[in-house]
Structure 1
Amino acid sequence: MKIAIISVSEKGKELAICIKEKLDNDSTIIKTDLYHKNVKKYFPLLFNEYDAIIAIMASGILIRSIASLIESKATDPAVLNIDDNGNFVISTLSGHLGGANKLTNKIAKLISATPVITTSTDVNNKLGIDVIAKDLFLSVNDTKEILFFNKAILEGRELSLTVNSNKNFNYLFDYLTKNTLEIDVSIKFSSKIKTDEIHVTLDDHILILKERKIVAGIGCRRGKECEKIYHGLKKSIDELNIDISRINMLTSAEIKKDEQGILELSEKLNIPVEFVTLDKLKLFQSNDITKSEFVKSKFGIWGVCEPSALIMAGFESKLIYKKTSYDGVTISIAISK
């Protein structure tokens, strides 16, 4: 998640700096940028460039600033509102698909504030269908149908989830079993459903949840054992709260194509591994990757795990876990659009 924090007062600016310092240590936060004052100029620029905006200001200023920018729950960024004293963190926009509710709880915990969340499913201790999509990194084919299904969940009606009978969907079953929020679902199996889709149906309504491609980029010192690489990968996905079975591909640079630890890990997990050519890595550009002068001087590329993951996840993919080191192993994770 890329986050912009914008403040209007000096006290708010101090709080913004404090929040940034805490978020910089979180591998699931790709970057945090600070902006101060001049909200009329900044908000239109930030709205489409960041996954989340944290506005430290009066709610009236925030609402007037973003009103004309709001388009859709499928595309709008998460927006949080915090008072200057850091007493309350309010989930203001894109609570579910945008991740504002979860970010609200995260920020509130970091600064010892009270989280304020008003979405109906959350306050009624129900699991929204859009929360399932967000948590499991699934796209939604028709966001207009979310309201119907969430209303049905609030009314205690049973939803039918249909998945392909030839695909392992343990990550979905485990998620539903372990989730403490209430939802009534039945699971059906059909070979006619695409293997990367989950069909949610009730009455004559249907919602298709489709797996977004998740790619784990790996860098490591020469000769790193499979178990050491697995340890780094497991720590990373645990921080993202995703099951190992949701990883669609492992990847690294072609200079690692003979690395036994990576090859063994691919075989052990039954996840394909692809190695990106140096030519592609040299041409790749992104403001989100961590640049290594050492790697640049040795191989002519700025990095291994982050650019490899982004390239293999496809056009307009983004990082959901920045380059993090685990005893000679670096892991990053990217997701398709």
Structure 2
Amino acid sequence: MDIKYIYITEKSKKLCEKISSFFEGEIISYSQFKNHSKKIFNNADFLIFIMATGIVVRSISELLESKFTDPGVIVIDELGKNTISLLGGHIGGANELTLKISKVINSNPVITTATDINNKGSFDIIVKKINGYVDNFGELSLEINSGLLKGISYKLFIQNEYKSFFIEENGKYSNALNGFDVEFISKEKIETIILYIDKSVEFVDRKCIFITDIDLNNIKNNNAYFNMGKNLSINIDLKIDKCFNTGLKLCEKNIIIVIPKLNVLGIGCKRYTKARDFENNVIEYLVENNINISSIKSISSIDLKKDEKCILEFAKKYNIETHFYTKEEISNVDSLYEKSNFVKDSIGVYSVAEPSCHISTDGNVISQKLKKNGITISIGRKLKL
């Protein structure tokens, strides 16, 4: 996290120093902030002002653009009596950090977000927790959060692989789930439910939210009976009445898909591999594993490949990060995977794809690698952000 602590008085500076010993960040004066306010505002994850709220509001008012992009802003009085989540409570993470800071300095946390003060979860926090992608994010956040405050209970299916993001250390559900009707289920059951959609039947009363990395297009293309205008007869290991409190089938408009962007590809390939061949092999691998390409957070490989055109073009096309590791870093874990003496003689490590994936995911490689046409692909999943 890039945290900027901003002070005016010497007393407020000391409080900055105290808090930064728990939550590391850069301490700057208010005059420094004023001189470079736009740059600092646009590049920080959090701005923590130790001063009067009025000063802060006037200082940042012209910098604000969107709650989906602005940093979290917290204000603390110089005596440390009140810690106020001013902006970016959910998406910016200000509410969560406000609670943490208030504990270490024994202050009064001031949070005014409607869902929080009413002990309700929120759609935007759920999406943030899994670095998710969803269409119409802003509109859905407003609609669902408002619905929760009105007492509407939305069905929330979470793919089992992402359960850890929503369970606290004490085994309880995260507060972000308060008010949702939650069920953790397998990928197979999610596929079955999605296939049960029937556009011709009357809408159900509530929206159903799915957190999954399944490639829905792959499901449709591989099911000859998937047709939104026809009834589907599917034997499912799931009681529809229990899941939806209704015997009606789902309507497409009541399905919300949130795709966690947490999967990582480990890549090894021959020099000058053609971009089209590379893309075709990666897509084939994802289809075989039924994983949506939108769930890929990053591509990892050895630093010898940091200028490999096929990797860079693919990453740019699909808006994917790239991470390249040194031979020393890869050699620390390459013994855990299948060894190739040819690769060792060529570049100094026994393998690239799986060890690179291993490093990026803290060892959570989730499927067998694919070796084809001089390209090796591995996939893993980050279990924490």
Q: TM-score, normalised by structure 2?
A: 0.52
| RCO comparison, higher one (Cα < 8 Å, 6+) | 1
Q: 1:66 to 1:249 in 2, by over 3 A?
A: same
2:375 counterpart residue number = none
1:125-151 Cα offsets, whole Å, 9 max, x none, are 111111212223324432232111001
Q: 1:33 to 1:260 in 2, by over 3 A?
A: closer
Q: How much has 1:106 moved relative to structure 2?
A: 1.1
Q: How much has 1:253 moved relative to structure 2?
A: 3.3
Please say if residues 139 and 210 of structure 1, whose CA atoms lie closer than 8 Å, have aligned partners that are also in contact.
yes
Q: 1:207 to 1:194 in 2, by over 3 A?
A: closer
* Count of aligned residue pairs for this structure pair: 238
Distance 2:265 2:40 in 1: 28
Distance 1:202 1:41 in 2: 54
Distance 1:33 1:259 in 2: 33
What's the Cα RMSD here?
Answer: 4.0
**Between the two proteins, what is the percent identity of the paired residues?**
32
Q: How much has 1:214 moved relative to structure 2?
A: 6.1
2:354 counterpart residue number = 273
Give the counterpart of 1:109 among 103, 110, 119.
103
Please say if residues 73 and 97 of structure 1, whose CA atoms lie closer than 8 Å, have aligned partners that are also in contact.
yes
1:61 counterpart residue number = 55
1:144 counterpart residue number = 139
**Alignment map for 1:15-34 (pairs within 5 Å):** 15-24=15-24, 32-34=25-27
2:29 counterpart residue number = 36
1:78 counterpart residue number = 72
**Alignment map for 1:82-101 (pairs within 5 Å):** 82-101=76-95
Name the SS for the 2:99 alignment partner: helix
2:364 counterpart residue number = none
Q: 1:77 to 1:12 in 2, by over 3 A?
A: same
1:276-310 Cα offsets, whole Å, 9 max, x none, are 9xxxxxxxxxxxxxxxxxxxxxxxxxxxx7xx78x
Higher CA-based Rg: 2
Q: Which has a greater percent of strand?
A: 1
Indicate whether 1:133 and 2:127 are aligned.
yes
Q: Which runs of 5+ in 2 are unaligned?
A: 184-188, 195-209, 217-249, 267-295, 302-324, 338-352, 362-381
Please say if residues 7 and 28 of structure 2, whose CA atoms lie closer than 8 Å, have aligned partners that are also in contact.
yes
2:327 counterpart residue number = 254
1:56-86 Cα offsets, whole Å, 9 max, x none, are 1111110011111111111010000010111
Distance 1:160 1:174 in 2: 17
Q: 1:261 to 1:91 in 2, by over 3 A?
A: same
For residue 196 of structure 1, what is the amino acid of its counterpart? D
Give the counterpart of 2:151 among 148, 151, 156.
156
For residue 191 of structure 2, what is the amino acid of its counterpart? S
Distance 1:172 1:190 in 2: 21
For residue 140 of structure 2, what is the amino acid of its counterpart? E
Q: How much has 1:45 moved relative to structure 2?
A: 2.1
Distance 1:248 1:45 in 2: 27
Q: Which runs of 5+ in 1 are unaligned?
A: 25-31, 218-245, 265-271, 277-304, 310-331
Please say if residues 2 and 51 of structure 1, whose CA atoms lie closer than 8 Å, have aligned partners that are also in contact.
yes
